[in-house]
Structure 1
Amino acid sequence: MSSTSPSTHETAPRPEREGRLIEGGPGFASGLRDLRRHLNVATVGAGLVAAIFGCTGPALIIINGGTEAGLSADLVTSWIFGIYVFGGVISLVLALFYKIPVTGAWSIPGAVLVVGALATFEFSDMVGAFLVAGVLVFLLGVTGLMRRVASWLPVPIVMAMIAGALIRFGIGVVNAGLSAPVIVGAAVIGFLLLSRFIKSVPGAVGALLLGTAAAAVTGAFNDSASGLGMSAPTLMAPTFDLNAILAVSVPLAVLVIGAENAQATGVLMAEKYRPPVNSMTLISGLGGILASVFGGHNANIAGPMTAICSSEQAGEDRSGRYAATVVNGILFIAFGIAAGAAVAAVTMLPGELIAAVAGLAMVGVLLSAFSGAFAGSRFQVGALAALVIAMSGVTVLNISSPFWALVGGVLISLVLEPKDFKANGTTHDGQTA
């Protein structure tokens, strides 16, 4: 199979079934049958890197925020169980059915939003708000609205949003290098050596190995003290408060769709996949509903993890990169089940090393995104606006910059580049239909 383009049969929803509520795909039998031959150093390595990224700093947002808000260790552990286990299940379901690296996790900006609201509302009201957010996202999938919006959005603007949203990971490598030059320098050397001489192994794996060795030599490992112990997940009874729904449910639903799913869709398009947008919306809604049962704020498609698992770091064969998402999903489920011990283990790694590895893993995605945004001649002003807004990191009405990048980019193109919206709208390649 070609390493430069995906197989329409194996890595894309079947065109004749795209009008359905759930897009068609190769199916679970095909995904399971071919999984073993696609499990190799590249896919396992990319899945591991994505899991380490997702299980370190992001988990601490919830642990620290929940602890400061006075939540018990049992509640925080259950929260982590809900988002990681169901995020992992999303990865397994979509990757195996579509054979595309659509990776599940949870919304990091959503966690920041929720942590900030813990001081205002009872946790049971927050659980009710989580449930309502999941229902809202699911209803958007049922209506098919997100598929229509995704098919209309100009691709250069989407690609520019991806470039702007993910560039912070590249900048993170530089900032981490200033804080821990030995560790980050070793990580960069490991990345370059493997990328140049052993292309069958992802450069990010070399960065992780050499960076970890440097951290051990310099004594930079953190003390393991997560504050969580082993405990069973707790079923949460929701209560419903209108103020909590308005303050948490609505912006959280918008974040899931406008930040996470939009990023993941753009990343997959940049890597020449045809993402099943409606299925991604539906399962993100279901994930949010199920995660709320255990106190989790959502479980949905994840932009950064999808970027790592779909990039060339997961191997040259695009048709096999879904195996990286399967690996990531299994690791996420294991992390959620053993939350207390797992958090203690992964937080030993220096933050600078995590930042460096994550940034280096994004190199291919960033190149594809910038190329998709500015290689053509259409929607260039809108794409530039989307890039700048996404890079700004601005948050308005508790909604983060990727959403506003899409809104701003489209509005500016409508005003300054109306000719690019001719005829029947735009197709997925950014050209007029």
Structure 2
Amino acid sequence: MSVTTQPTPSATPERNPLLERPDVRPAGVRDVLRDVGAHYAANGVIGLIFSASGPIAVTLAVGAAGGLTAAQLASWVFGIFLSAGLATVAMSLVYRQPLGFAWSIPGTVLLGPSLQHLSFPEVVGAFFTAGVLILALGASGIVRRIMAAIPMPIVMAMVAAVFLRFGTDIVTSTRDNPVVAAPMVFAFVALTAIPVLGRFVPPVLGALVVGVVAVLASGQFAFDSDGPLFASPVFTAPEFTWAAQLELVVPLAITVLIVQNGQGIAVLRAAGHRPPVNVFAVSSGLFSVLNAGFGAVSACVTGPTNALLTSSGEKHRQYTGAVVYGVLSLVCALLAPTLVRFMLATPEAFVLALGGIAMIKALQQAFVTAFATTFTLGSLVTFVVTIADLNLFNIHAAFWGLLVGYVASRLLERDDHDKEES
């Protein structure tokens, strides 16, 4: 992942317009066709595979445990891919940056216990309210001010803690299913170590191709052809109850704006881009309301997806990978039931190994940024609290890691803060 040093775009938010304007003219079809290449298309495909595998498995597990019908689950999958595709394509073309949207996996996880005692219409009502709250907070400009106040090393320490499992997934998948994962790791190492080969076949793309061959050759792909081909979204009428609103709305909003969008913003800045923080928040709110109409969890910008989209190639062409990811997301929305069956037929080791391989450079950069220079104690506290999985009040551990790490840094690293503010 390419890294450049640049001024933080939100260092003086009061001087910037509320909704950040693009620095360049929007990209057209000719621009995309000129700028796209194997590296960027591969990044987009791998981003899609990542989104359509583990996160979808989490969604299906939570929904099934909560008693959702097959139609409601298919509608949920349709909604999250539809919003991800529309938001990613529109934002990436307008800003000419790889601005990848997805949906809140921590938000999905926190729904598990709630669906045990709340009805699905009550949960959908909380989705609608959370979307409106996210939109209002984005329109207020407060999100950009919060993100500007937290030093980048502390934010990247949170990212490092969240991304760490992708690195360990390479080890566990190779141990558990060496027939599939080991050839993928070998291909990635070989293509990375031999630059001449890597110029013709991007290392991550090579790992993907080798993994597909290994899965098919080992007979570990078992696709169930029974079931509908295209999505048939359904509308679940929301119920607005105090119990659901108090339990879910604030945790969902914090997870989207601080935890998820915060990761995406940090990853994009580390890659040398200038993400529009307030526009991210407003867009997340708008598309969260759209998702709620299909009975789906909140939309957001995510760290892993954007790390994959910025993992290789020239910075000014990386937006094309996001466009590929967005277009494929729209296809997945249309074919949601088929996609679910297809991904469930793929061995877990393939998905884990591919995700870990694709994320390894992003994980490396997160550690370098977090611990290389200043705010190292605050970064360490953030990392430890996040990795300890401290969940309070249904709010993801990454938020508490940021909060505790920032407070510790303010108290114990005053010189670093004075230097940054001077």
Confirm whether residue 386 of structure 1 aligns to residue 375 of structure 2: no
Question: What percentage of residue pairs aligned between the two structures are identical?
Answer: 34
Q: Secondary structure at the match of 1:29?
A: coil
Aligned with 1:307: secondary structure?
helix
**Could you list the runs of 5+ residues in structure 2 that have no partner in the other structure?**
none
Partner of 2:280: 280
Q: CA deviation at 1:398?
A: 1.6
Superposition deviation, residue 324 in structure 1: 0.9
CA distance in 2, matches of 1:403, 1:226: 42
Cα contact 2:3–2:270 (8 A) shared by 1 = no
- 2:392 corresponds to which letter in structure 1? V
What is the deviation of 1:49? 0.6
Matched residue, 1:360: 357
Residue 375 (structure 1) aligned with residue 364 (structure 2): no
Q: 1:163 and 2:160 equivalent?
A: yes
Paired letter, 1:432: E
Q: Does 1:113 align with 2:110?
A: yes
User: Matches of 2:200 and 2:155 in 1, distance apart?
Assistant: 30
Within 2, Cα distance between the matches of 1:396 and 1:17?
32
Q: 2:411 aligned with 1:432, yes or no?
A: no
Number of the residue aligned with 1:400: 396
Return the letter of the residue paired with 2:265. Answer: T
Residue number among 185, 188, 194 corresponding to 1:188 in the alignment? 185
Q: 1:27 to 1:90 in 2, by over 3 A?
A: farther
SS in 2 for 1:365: helix
Matched to 2:72, the amino acid is L
Structure 1 consecutive aligned stretches of length 4 or more whose deviation exceeds 4 Å:
3-8, 15-18, 225-229
Q: 1:432 to 1:202 in 2, by over 3 A?
A: farther
Query: Is 2:238 aligned against 1:241?
Result: no
Partner of 2:302: 302
Paired AA for residue 249 in structure 1: V
The 1:249/1:416 distance shift into structure 2, 3 A limit, reads same
* Contact in 2 for aligned 1:73/1:228 (Cα 8 Å): no
Q: 2:69 aligns with which of 72, 79, 95?
A: 72
Alignment of 1:16-165 (within 5 A): 19-26=16-23, 29-30=26-27, 32-165=29-162
Cα distance between partner residues in 1 of 2:55 and 2:158:
22
1:3-57: per-residue Cα shift (whole Å, max 9, x none)?
Answer: 765999xxx89x9997112101146633544211221111110110110111012
Q: Deviations over 1:192-232 (max 9, x none)?
A: 23223223543211111111211222222244379776442
Between 27-36 and 317-326, the greater mean CA deviation after superposition: 27-36
Return the alpha-carbon distance in structure 1 between the equivalents of residues 350 and 23 of structure 2: 38
Deviations 1:98-156 (A, max 9, x none): 11111001011111112331121111111110011111111111110111111111111
TM-score, scaled to structure 2: 0.92
- The answer on whether the counterparts of 2:126 and 2:240 sit within 8 Å (CA) in structure 1 is yes
For residue 26 of structure 2, give the secondary structure of its aligned residue in structure 1: helix
Q: 2:13–2:144: 8 Å Cα contact kept in structure 1?
A: no
Structure 2 CA distance for aligned equivalents of residues 90 and 270 of structure 1? 22
Q: Which residue of 2 aligns with 1:426?
A: none
Residue of structure 2 aligned with 1:410, choices 401, 406, 415:
406
Higher mean alpha-carbon deviation, 62-71 vs 16-25, is at 16-25
Quote the residue 2:417 is aligned against. Answer: 421
Specify every segment of 5 or more residues in structure 1 that has no aligned partner in the other structure, as ranges: 424-430
| 1:146-182 Cα distance to aligned partner (Å, 9 max, x none) | 1111111111111111111111100111111110112
State the alpha-carbon separation in 2 of the partners of residues 236 and 28 from structure 1: 40
1: distance between equivalents of 2:14 and 2:78? 35
**What amino acid is the match of 1:329?**
G
CA contact (8 A) 1:17 1:23 kept: no
The amino acid across from 1:202 in the alignment is: P
- Aligned-partner SS, 1:105: strand
- Aligned AA (2:394): N
Cα distance, 1:382 vs structure 2:
0.2
Q: Is the 8 A contact 1:83 1:299 kept in 2?
A: yes
Query: Is 64-73 or 340-349 further displaced after alignment?
Result: 64-73
Give the direction of change, closer, same or farther, for the CA distance of 1:409–1:200 in structure 2 (3 Å limit). farther
Question: Which one-letter code corresponds to 2:177 in the other structure?
Answer: A
Q: Deviations over 1:384-409 (max 9, x none)?
A: 11122222333222222221121111
Q: How many residues align?
A: 416
User: Which stretch of structure 1 is more off in the superposition, 115-124 or 152-161?
Assistant: 115-124
Q: Which shows bigger deviation, 29-38 or 145-154?
A: 29-38
Distance 1:432 1:199, change over 3 A: farther
CA pair 200-91 structure 1, distance change in 2 beyond 3 A: farther
Deviation at 1:244, TM superposition (A): 0.3
Residue 208 of structure 1 corresponds to which residue in structure 2? 208
| SS of residue paired to 1:20 | coil
User: TM-score, normalising length from structure 1?
Assistant: 0.90
The worse-fitting range, judged by mean Cα deviation, of 392-401 and 382-391 is: 392-401
Give the superposed CA RMSD: 2.3
The 1:225–1:249 alpha-carbon spacing in structure 2 relative to 1, beyond 3 Å, is farther
